[in-house]
A and B are shown apart, each in its own frame.
Chain A
Amino acid sequence: MGARALTCLMCVVIALNAIAAAAGLALFAVAIWVTVDGYKLYPISSVSGKDDIFAAAWIAIFTGFAFFLTCIFGIFAALKRSRGFMMAYLIIMFIIFLFECASAITAVTNRDYLIGNSNLVKKQMLQYYADSSTQGKQITQTWNRVMEQVECCGADGPADWFQYNSTFKQMFGSTYIWPLSCCKRLSTFEVEDKEGCMVGKATTIFSKGCFQYIESVLSRYTWAVSWYGFSVLMLVFLTLMIAMIYYMQLE
């Protein structure tokens, strides 16, 4: 290959590596956002034992930063026109590629288990809300916060509380049909109409279900890790293909 063409190829490799380094750093940042869990819904996935969305985010933190460092090394290796360095770069990038693939696939598969439909979330709520175990306390706090802030009740609606048996019903069923977190409140946090809410007056109780909100938050986390990870991987795939061609042209 002519010297001019080789220099051109080297520039392409350097440019793609620079973009991949930036993309890797952004993946690192987005994965940190998912891990920090600003919406505080982690107990829902941890109690069910299916917290792989967050495990995938942890992997993405490391692979994102590793992509950043290795791509900078790749720019250096391409500039030096060194076969040894380019081979090391290719092998390291391939290993990181494998880990990031695992992260993306894990996140999106786990999302289907957890929030494909409302059954798992509903069953968990009925089993653990008002339970006095550690898991029960976490679930109770999470659901209370979601119901009060998002203004919703139950997984699909308040009917969940009286159509099904639950721990809450066993403990408080003689007085309350549904938790008081389902009631509309004033800005002073007092329940607006406790008597009305306890009998189910439609204007004093939240009638929509919380599953839509939970599903949208966990989906947002999953798309951040899996779809963005997927797009970074496609970019890295292209970069590695061109880097392999460049390697073959080096003597």
Chain B
Amino acid sequence: MLNLLFILGILCPLNLAEIEIRLLDPKIDGVLASRFPNSFLLGLPDCSVYGNKSAELLYTELPSNENKTKSFIVPSCSVTRLGLLLQNLKNGTTYNMQYKIAGSNDTSANLTMATTNVIDFQQIDSGLPARSGAMVVITVILSVAMAALLIGLIVVLFSS
């Protein structure tokens, strides 16, 4: 019995609570969006466990495998910070991201996400969308009225 418990204890370590890494969700976290062309908005590590500790976000650009690090201090629970904005990324590229607490082996899982693409504003078609009903009505009725008046004037001029 005791051996079984020991084996179970080895198989299930207490720090199964690894750092959570996720993009913020517009519906749950009350943000506009979390995937931008040049940045990601990530949820911060748990403030109750890692508050006031310095941490790093390791991110790798996938095609070229360029490694970069962003150091930050996990805010304590008294400060309400929404998330971590990772900026200066390239649009339309995939990144691998991972949290790591400085000075310990606590890491998060790998998060693979791609930044969105931008549409060039010159591609927006700003031509005439459609003719509205008001335009057709006013033009037709006024043209008819102009013609009728002209005919009336000519009739009046030549009958006098």
Contacts and interface: CB of A to CB of B under 8 A. Distances in A.
Interface of A: 83, 87, 90-91, 94, 97-98, 101, 104-105, 108-109, 111-113, 116-117, 119-120, 122-124, 126-127, 158-159, 162-166, 169, 173-175, 177, 195-196, 198-203, 205, 207, 226-227, 230, 233-234, 237, 240-241, 244, 247-248
Nearest 8 interchain pairs by C-beta: A116-B129, A200-B32, A126-B121, A120-B126, A123-B124, A117-B129, A101-B142, A202-B30
A130 to B, nearest CB: 13
B85 interface: yes
A120 B32 CA distance: 24
A165 B129 contact: no
A227 B138 CA distance: 8
B11 interface: no
B88 A174 contact: yes
A173 B156 contact: no
Interface string B119-160: 111101110111110110011011101101110110011011
A83 B157 CA distance: 11
A198 B143 CA distance: 54
A165 B120 contact: yes
Nearest to A203: B30
Interface stretch (B35-43, B54-62, B94-102): B35-43
B116 interface: yes
9 contacts: A97-B146, A109-B139, A116-B132, A158-B32, A162-B118, A164-B119, A199-B83, A200-B31, A241-B152
A47 to B, nearest CB: 12
B150 A94 contact: yes
A237 B149 contact: yes
Given A201-B82, A227-B134, A248 B159 contact: yes
A177 B31 contact: no
Given A101-B146, A234-B145, A199 B41 contact: yes
B33 interface: yes
Given A105-B138, A207-B32, A116 B128 contact: yes
A177 B39 contact: yes
Contacts of B39: 177
A248 B156 contact: yes
Nearest to A167: B121
A114 to B, nearest CB: 10
A94 B135 contact: no
Contacts of B126: 119-120, 123-124
B41 A165 contact: no
Contacts of B120: 164-165
A90 to B, nearest CB: 6
A98 B125 CA distance: 34
A120 B153 CA distance: 43
A173 B38 contact: yes
Nearest to B36: A162
A94 B156 contact: no
Contact of B116 (A87, A109, A162): A162
B87 to A, nearest CB: 7
B76 to A, nearest CB: 16
B139 A240 contact: no
A237 B121 contact: no
Contacts of A173: 38
Most buried by A among B36, B128, B142, B148: B142
Nearest to A247: B156
